[in-house]
Amino acid sequence: MRQLVDSYKRDRAAVQAKAATSRTIQLDSQDRVVVNVHLDGKAPINVVAAVLTRAGAEVLAVDPNWRHGVISARLPLAQAEAIGATVGVQSVMLGHRPIHRIGKVTAESSVVEHAQQANTAGVLSNNGFLGRNISVGIISDSYDTAQGVPRASEGVASGDLPGIGNPDGYNQAVVNLEDSFFSGATDEGRGMAEIVHDLAPAAKICFHTAGISQPIMSLGIRKLRSSSSALCDIIVDDIFFIDEPFFSDGEVAQAIEDVSAGISLPGKKVAYFSAAGNSGNNGYSSDLRLLTPGQGQQANDAAGANQLDLSQVPSSLYAGGFHNLKSSGSPA
């Protein structure tokens, strides 16, 4: 984020051109970038949200459940430094684009899972296992807002989705808690709903967009359990964010924990299934290049504006030293 702000000061047009082809930077025509503003508890979350609005930001989601709270917003790049210095703000982090776990072939899960045998009356049960009285929640990019594709109503008419007019009599429409109107929507959530309907045609299906930030997805996960129109038994997603933590729970993982094991939310504990994917070589792999705690602190101090804030990290967590990300030259 710091590098983006500094680059914007030097060459606004260059940053706009970079963002147009970036897989991570979400910059709109008003030079507002999607950020996650993490709070430190020194000011109420609604007060910080009001400061953001006065600075010209569009607040997308407010999540008070993650640590001291986090606000997802479209923030004018010119205001980033001022917001970073606002009382109550711990950090302003770039909000990375969500990534979809989308396969390259048409799903044949109903065949692999022998859905027809399970659904057919008299094969495995007198009435067949159709998913009746089960509510399945879906988290994905969008359900019925993508441009240039058939609408969900056509899927209902063809029997691929439940709803009024379904030729097989499954008339309970998909409960769309919140759809996405952000650019790039693909209606992948509708494709997931069609798969669920293939497997369990009598199940109630609910949808909430993952949006374009972790706070939006986290709130959607909680709504699918707690909303009186959803009350899901099962939730599935096909989304991940590249800045989710490797070795500990992040904001989305905390939301999943809340719905699958927590007792504070309305609704029942859900079975949660998150899409796994093999990202191949799109990761970080290295032999350990160990820095002593002193060397690591020295390298961090030399990083200037890019240094890590370790003030809230227990020293026991880095007592064994740090990994040097650079293979040669000064440590990083």
pLDDT in tens, 80-116: 999 999 999 999 999 988 887 654 444 556 555 656 6
Specify the number of domains making up the chain.
3
On whether both 109 and 53 belong to a single domain, the answer is: no
**Distant-in-sequence, close-in-space partners of 117: CB < 8 Å, separation ≥ 6:** 123, 124
pLDDT in tens, 105-155: 445 565 556 566 666 566 556 666 678 899 999 999 999 999 999 999 999
On whether both 12 and 30 belong to a single domain, the answer is: yes
pTM for the structure as a whole: 0.79
* End residue of a domain, out of 48, 76, 95: 95
Q: Using the 8-state DSSP alphabet, how is residue 42 labeled?
A: S
d(CA 5, CA 175): 40
On whether both 150 and 39 belong to a single domain, the answer is: no
Reported as half-sphere exposure (CB side, CA atoms, 13 A), residue 267 has a value of 27
d(CA 145, CA 182): 9
Domain that holds residue 61: 2-95
On whether both 85 and 112 belong to a single domain, the answer is: no
On whether both 11 and 109 belong to a single domain, the answer is: no
Contact 321, 293 (CB under 8 A): yes
Q: Is residue 330 part of a domain?
A: no
On whether both 22 and 155 belong to a single domain, the answer is: no
Q: Is residue 210 part of a domain?
A: yes
Q: Is residue 279 part of a domain?
A: no
On whether both 47 and 158 belong to a single domain, the answer is: no
On whether both 54 and 121 belong to a single domain, the answer is: no
pLDDT in tens, 29-72: 899 999 999 999 999 999 999 999 999 999 999 999 999 999 99
On whether both 37 and 83 belong to a single domain, the answer is: yes
Q: What is the CATH classification number for the domain harbouring 86?
A: 3.30.70.80
